[in-house]
A and B are shown apart, each in its own frame.
Chain A
Amino acid sequence: MNQNGVKIQEKTFLQKLKLQRQLFYMSAPLILYVILFAYIPLWGWTMAFQNFKPARNFFQQEWVGIKWFLFLFKDDNFLKVLRNTIAMSLINLSFGYIGAIALALILNEVKERFFKRTIQTISYLPHFLSWVIVSGLVASMLSVEDGAINQLLLSLRLIKEPIMWLGEPKYFWWITGFTYLWKEIGWNSIIYLAAISGIDPTLYEVAEIDGCGRLKKMWYITLPGIKSTIMVLLIMSIGHILDAGFELQFLLRNGLIQDYADTIDIYVLTFGLNSGNYSLATAAGMFKNIVNIALIFLANFLAKRMGEERLI
């Protein structure tokens, strides 16, 4: 049927497209735009197999095969940033999950709408602050001279002298973990609260008749009720194992802790744009993105196997 309701069967693709030309004009330029910004740069991956020099054109470049990839896995710096990236993303993910689910469960128990609203509004606030601002707040909270954390620990007599939080490598992963938790706990709880509101209320009534208290209702009804949301989000996060974030680490790092603070993205930035080794940096970025895509397809496959909603 065309738009006038007349039955036409022998329309070819081009004839149909001609009738839909307005839709075509509304979409095609934007799709070309997406191709330009998302897919054309993939051509740049050729740099990872060259000794790329910006002054030469494509045909003058020297091809070196997989030299840079071999170099990466022998490079101590790269192995370090790989370790840091995976460690920080695992810490961020687990803190983020447990925090957001716990907050959603607790908020769900609050009956006063105004109180609940206020807490929610406050909990979203850090999500809207830029990483520049957040890194500044973290630095001043952790400051040795007057930082709130040191002051608090000193007044509770848990420590005898202030700790240089941002000067010791062993604290850094946990600092990023708590910062991510602080920034996103409220925001991430939204999706769980939405899932909780979809639970059939009669289930709670039945549980009450069976003598369940509130903790038991939380455990036996609310949690199983949002199980599929938890699973989908958990599986999806597999695709982000190599995304430990970049901005916070970049903004907080200093010479004392960079062995533990630098992530793959910082490696790409420092070797690529700062020291001009474009080929090595491209190879590192390419490694990260290919692993990411593979993990996302794996996650999608797993989700399908487990009967969850398809993700892609």
Chain B
Amino acid sequence: MNRWHNMKYYRSYMNDLLFDFGIKVLLVLLAIVTLYPFWNTIVVSFNDATDTLRGGLTFWPRKVSFQNYKAVFASGTIYHAFLVSVARVLLSTVGNIFLTSMLAYALSRKEYVLRKQFTFILILSMYVSAGLIPYYFLIRSLGLINSFWVYVIPGLVNAFNFIVIRTYMGTIPDSLVESARIDGAEDFLIFIRIILPLITPVLATVALFVAVGNWNSWFDTMIFASGRQDLSTLQYELMKFLASSQNQAKSAADVGAMGMAKDYASSIVTPASIRAAITVVAAVPILVVYPFLQRYFVIGLTVGGVKE
């Protein structure tokens, strides 16, 4: 009896080990599939361009070279687009989190007489969309076509972020606001001095969402600002580059046509290698930030996810 029991215990223990091993293999496979495409791009970007043409590059560079990056940064176009992207991210993020959280504070005050009406207007805006064409005409009549501000102004208040921030504010005890009122503080001051410092975790999450959205955006550049090269963003430059090298033109002449080689004529670069280098430049700023904000993702998603 005892021996039989031991056997059974042993078997379930072995099953457990096998199960653990199985799921780990699965997850490691998932991690490889997730990372490989981007890792391979990094490898190509650090490999000598002519050597890359031989094909067969997988996990490690064969002939390490920084020429691709030199060519990318020597190109005034890419560098300028990088700066435009940084500028729009900074302005949009600061503006969005400040204004959206200010609105969230006002509409979180239960005594505010317009609370219900304003909240309704805001929430409904998530579901109503007039579509691209009417929106285009609105942007045009606001004079935002081919203006830098088209990157910032339309995205200043966001209903989804509003819900995330307001829900988080709900966890702050009302007595804090009440006692500040008794001390004679007015609402704007309460918001700045008391509320803002307390909601920094959720602001970090929302700031990441807004910054990523702005950094990754290229469609607004194409539709509203493609008339001015000095307003081009990094993602839009990459998109144009991908579109032109889609047909796998592999000669250095094509790179020259993209205005890349003329800035750095002495080196030999190819569209595939340049594309890899721009891709890495366009991805890295976010990839170094997001792991540090990971623990806040859950706040943003569980609060907002259901209401998305």
A residues whose Cβ falls under 8 Å from a Cβ of B? 3, 13, 16-17, 20, 22-28, 30-31, 33-45, 47, 103, 106-107, 109-111, 115, 118-126, 128-133, 135-141, 143, 145-146, 148, 182, 185-186, 190-191, 194, 213-215, 232-233, 236, 239, 246-247, 251, 254, 265, 268-269, 272-273, 278, 281-282, 285-286, 288-289, 292-293, 296, 309, 311-312
Contact = CB atoms under 8 A, between A and B. Distances in A.
Contacts of B114: 17, 24, 27-28
Residue of A38, A40, A138 most packed against chain B (CB within 10 A): A38
B34 A126 contact: yes
B238 A272 contact: no
Contacts, number: 255
A158 to B, nearest CB: 17
A128 B105 contact: no
Given A265-B132, A281-B132, A288-B131, A22 B186 contact: yes
Contact of B30 (A28, A119, A281): A119
Interface stretch (B71-79, B86-94, B290-298): B290-298
Interface string B67-109: 0000000000000000000000000000000010011011101
Given A27-B114, A190-B297, A194-B301, A119 B37 contact: no
Contacts of A272: 132-133, 136
A42 to B, nearest CB: 5
7 contacts: A27-B112, A40-B138, A41-B137, A137-B41, A190-B302, A214-B16, A232-B306
A125 B287 contact: yes
B218 A289 contact: no
B248 A143 contact: yes
Contacts of A26: 102-103, 105-106, 187-188, 191
B56 A44 contact: no
Given A20-B112, A194-B302, A254-B246, A119 B27 contact: yes
A136 B242 contact: yes
4 shortest interchain CB distances as A-B pairs: A44-B134, A285-B131, A130-B216, A41-B130
Contacts of B223: 273
B113 A132 contact: no
**B contact residues, range:** 35 or more
Contacts of A47: 133-134
Contacts of A286: 130-131
B242 A34 contact: no
Interface string B129-154: 11111111110000000000000001
Given A115-B24, A128-B290, A213-B12, A281 B242 contact: no
B30 A41 contact: no
Contacts of A109: 19-20, 23
Given A122-B31, A124-B297, A23 B134 contact: no
Contacts of A111: 20
A232 to B, nearest CB: 6
A194 B301 CA distance: 9
A3 B306 contact: no
Contact of A311 (B118, B157, B217, B306): B306
A106 B26 contact: yes
A289 B38 contact: no
A224 to B, nearest CB: 19
A22 B177 CA distance: 14
Nearest to B111: A20
Interface of chain A, helix or strand or loop or mixed? Answer: helix
Contacts of B215: 130
A129 B126 CA distance: 24
Interface stretch (B168-176, B255-263, B278-286): B278-286
B294 A42 contact: no
B268 interface: no
Interface string B231-252: 0000100110011001010000
B308 interface: yes
A162 B238 CA distance: 27
A23 B132 contact: no
Residue of A23, A118, A119, A247 most packed against chain B (CB within 10 A): A23
Contacts of A281: 132-133
B86 to A, nearest CB: 15
A204 to B, nearest CB: 14
B50 interface: no
B216 A131 contact: yes
Given A13-B113, A254-B246, A106 B279 contact: no
Contacts of A124: 290, 294, 297
A184 to B, nearest CB: 11
Contact of A38 (B26, B35, B41, B125): B125
A265 B133 CA distance: 11
B307 A41 contact: no
A145 B26 CA distance: 29
Contacts of A246: 219
Contact of B107 (A27, A182, A312): A27
Contacts of B235: 130, 132-133
A163 B128 CA distance: 42
Contacts of B253: none
Contact of B282 (A126, A132, A312): A132
Contacts of B275: 136
Given A33-B156, A119-B31, A136 B279 contact: yes
